[in-house]
Amino acid sequence: MQNVQQKAEQIKLVIFDVDGVLTDGTLFLGDDGQEYKAFNAKDGHGMVMLRNSGVIIGIITARTSNVVTKRMAGLGITHVYQGQKNKVAAFEQLLKDCNLMEQQVAFVGDDVVDLAVMGRVGLAVAVGDACAIVKQYADWVTPNNGGRGAARDLCEFIMMAQGTWEKALAPFLPK
C-alpha cells in the first residue's frame, strides 16, 4: 500500500469542503439573513501557490453562499460546486470536467457528509478538528484545524511531496 507522501505525489486536483475546512465552521447570520464567514488568509495564499504549481483546486460544499463565490473568485478558483447535498455527484462531474482518475484527487473534509467522497479519492484528508469518524477514514490529518491553517498544511504538504515547494516559495524569499 502506498504511503501518504506517495499518494500526495500523484495529486492533480485538490477538492476542499468549505464550512469546517476553509472556515472554522462558525456561521454568522445577520437579522437580515445575510451570511458571513471568516476565511484564513494563509489558507488562501497556500491554495494560490498550489494552483500556481499546476494542481487544480476545486470546491464542493453543501451550502450556498455569495461569500464563498466572492472568496473563490478572489483566489482564482473556478471549479466551485455549491448547494451540493450529494457531494459524490459533484465529485464525479469534477472528475469528468478535469479528465482525471480518482487516485489523482485529494479531498479535504471535516464531517460525516464528506465521507462518501473521501472514500473515493486517492488522498483523503481530515482537518485537525474533524469528527472522530472522519479522522478514522482519512489518509492524513492536518496539524491545524479547519479555517485555522488546515488548507495551508495540505497545500504545502502536496507541494513538498511533488517537489514544487521551493519554486513556489522562491519569489517570497529575501534576495
> What pLDDT band is residue 1 in, cutting at 50, 70 and 90?
low
Query: pLDDT digit string (tens) for 82-121?
Result: 999 999 999 999 999 999 999 999 999 999 999 999 999 9
| CATH code of the domain covering residue 86 | 3.40.50.1000
What range defines the domain where residue 81 resides?
4-158
Contact 147, 21 (CB under 8 A): yes
- Angle value at C-alpha 36, between 35 and 41, nearest 5 degrees: 150
At residue 35, the pLDDT reads 86
Report pLDDT digits (tens) over 6-15.
Answer: 999 999 999 9
What is the percent of the chain with per-residue pLDDT over 70, rounded to a whole number? 99
Q: What pLDDT shows up at residue 33?
A: 83
In a domain, 79, yes or no: yes
User: Does some domain include residue 172?
Assistant: no
For residue 174, what is its C-alpha cell? 529575501
| 164, 17 Cβ separation under 8 angstroms | no
Specify the number of domains making up the chain: 1
pLDDT of residue 87: 96
Q: pTM surpassing 0.85?
A: yes
pLDDT tens column, 48-86: 999 999 999 999 999 999 999 999 999 999 999 999 999
In a domain, 167, yes or no: no
pLDDT at 73: 97
